[in-house]
Structure 1
């Protein structure tokens, strides 16, 4: 659906050149919600604006639905952009226009018949739950309602792609959750491809199918959210994942620092991070394994949550006992399909 090939974007000013994106390759499938996460200045906003050529790449190609946008002339590009909706962090609504007219705006630009505009605007306002607010102005709306107007406007032209540029970072947590649920519903209803950039891992965790981590203008890690979230490989990814959890890095460091204990003669210990996914999260797998092997254990840290409605759990466990019995315990857990990382 979306292919970025060798994407490079540089800015030059006063004899200095800044590279925002460097030979970046990315593939996004039709109908998926794809997240791009990175710190401020990593290049994620430049990346998403290159997809619809609001920022023209210095080099590389941008393919959307089989069309190379970088080869198009101005009029052809305008036609292709109608297939790409976009919502923004600060809403970008017309302050002097009503909710109705904000949603109708892109349709009026292409001379859509008035009756067709009316049908589409009413359909979109019903979709985002703002039917009763059509005559209000943006100043009369909450932040969440403004973003819903932005979503309705972006969808009015029946796009095949929706770009979300930090769409929830200006909202409170409760409103963020409602907007994310709305995007998820829209994705499922219309099979709409959504590209979402953010600096918040919980946004990725809640609705995305796959994620790419961007750092210094390049992709340092990407894959299914469950895999990246539970088994982060790059230091930047591990930082995002740990900070998203309560206590973050400080808690993990404290656990590791205090994981040791005075054990009796002949008693060994091993510190292991155990990850559960799906229904196994709720099963007594750990309890069954240690009963079978006779190993003692202590849970030093634990998380149970969901990744796009899929339950997962992660426990930091210290196993104590005979060396062979500990190894047998880990084998029992592995046989049950659990993922383990030996920390110490």
Structure 2
């Protein structure tokens, strides 16, 4: 659905330029929710604006739904842009227009008949839960309601792709969760491809199927969210994940004080139904190894439950090794920390 080929964006002149994006290759499948996470200045906003050519790449190609947008003339590009919806961090609503007129705005630009506009806007108001607010102005709405208007407006032209530029970063946590649930609902109802950028790992963890981590204008890590979140390879990815977890200093202290010849510290990752099984207790009863939990988490990645335990096994080395082997045989991911 979206394919970026060697995408590069530079600002400035040939003599003095700044590279915002460097030779990025990326693919997003039909119906997928794809996240791009990065720190401020990493290039993520430039990346998403290059997809609909609000920013024209210096080199490389942008393909959307089988069409090379970078090869189109102005008229054809405008036509294909209508199939790419976009929602913004600060909503970008027309302050002097009602909710109804804000949502209708893209349709009025294409001379859509009034009866069709009325039907479409009514359907979208129901979808985003704003039927009772259609005659209000943006100043009368909360932040979450404004973003719902922005989402409805982005959907007015029946896009194939929805781009979300930091769509929840101006919202409080509870409102953020409600907007993320709405995006999930839209994705499921319409099989709509959604690409979102964010600096919040919680957003990625809640709704995305796959994620790319951007740093200094390049993609440093990419893959399924479960894989990237649970087995981060790049330091930048680890920083984002560590911000979402607690007790990092206490964990370092625990690891430093539990190290001995008769103990071994191990991180065990549970995924899916195994998260709620008693596999660990079953296996240590069989091997006779004692254990202490140093840190533990149970949560979800999108709809997938997962758990991570950092444990200290104590006992004879052979029994500890057998415990680790049995855990691996149960298809658990086991990482020895020392």
TM-score (norm 1): 0.96
User: Structure 2: how far apart are the matches of 1:15 and 1:251?
Assistant: 50
Cα 1:133–1:11, aligned 2, differ >3 Å: closer, same or farther? Answer: same
Whether the aligned pair in 1 keeps the contact of 2:45 and 2:197 (CA below 8 Å) is: yes
Map Cα deviations across residues 242-275 of structure 1 (whole Å, 9 max, x no partner): 111134x434433333333xx6xxx611111100
Partner of 2:249: 250
User: Structure 2: how far apart are the matches of 1:15 and 1:125?
Assistant: 51
User: Structure 2: how far apart are the matches of 1:183 and 1:129?
Assistant: 13
Partner of 1:140: 140
Write out aligned runs for 1:12-91 (5 A): 12=12, 16-91=16-91
The counterpart of 2:286, out of the listed 278, 288, 292, is: 292
* Displacement of 1:14: 10
User: Structure 2: how far apart are the matches of 1:161 and 1:251?
Assistant: 44
Map Cα deviations across residues 18-51 of structure 1 (whole Å, 9 max, x no partner): 1000000000000000000000000000000000
Cα 1:189–1:251, aligned 2, differ >3 Å: closer, same or farther? Answer: farther
Q: Does 1:239 align with 2:223?
A: no
Unpaired runs of 5+ in structure 1? Answer: none
Partner secondary structure for residue 107 of structure 1: helix
Whether the aligned pair in 2 keeps the contact of 1:272 and 1:316 (CA below 8 Å) is: yes
Whether the aligned pair in 2 keeps the contact of 1:85 and 1:159 (CA below 8 Å) is: yes
User: Structure 2: how far apart are the matches of 1:320 and 1:57?
Assistant: 57
Whether the aligned pair in 1 keeps the contact of 2:10 and 2:58 (CA below 8 Å) is: yes
Partner of 1:319: 313
Partner of 2:106: 106
Partner secondary structure for residue 12 of structure 2: strand
Write out aligned runs for 1:89-238 (5 A): 89-238=89-238
TM-score (norm 2): 0.98
Map Cα deviations across residues 174-225 of structure 1 (whole Å, 9 max, x no partner): 0000000000000000000000100000100000000000001111100000
Map Cα deviations across residues 266-309 of structure 1 (whole Å, 9 max, x no partner): x6111111000001000000000100000010000000000002
Root mean square deviation of aligned Cα: 1.2
Cα 1:185–1:300, aligned 2, differ >3 Å: closer, same or farther? Answer: same
User: Structure 2: how far apart are the matches of 1:14 and 1:133?
Assistant: 51
Unpaired runs of 5+ in structure 2? Answer: none
Structure 1 runs of 4+ aligned residues shifted over 6 Å read none
User: Structure 1: how far apart are the matches of 2:226 and 2:180?
Assistant: 18
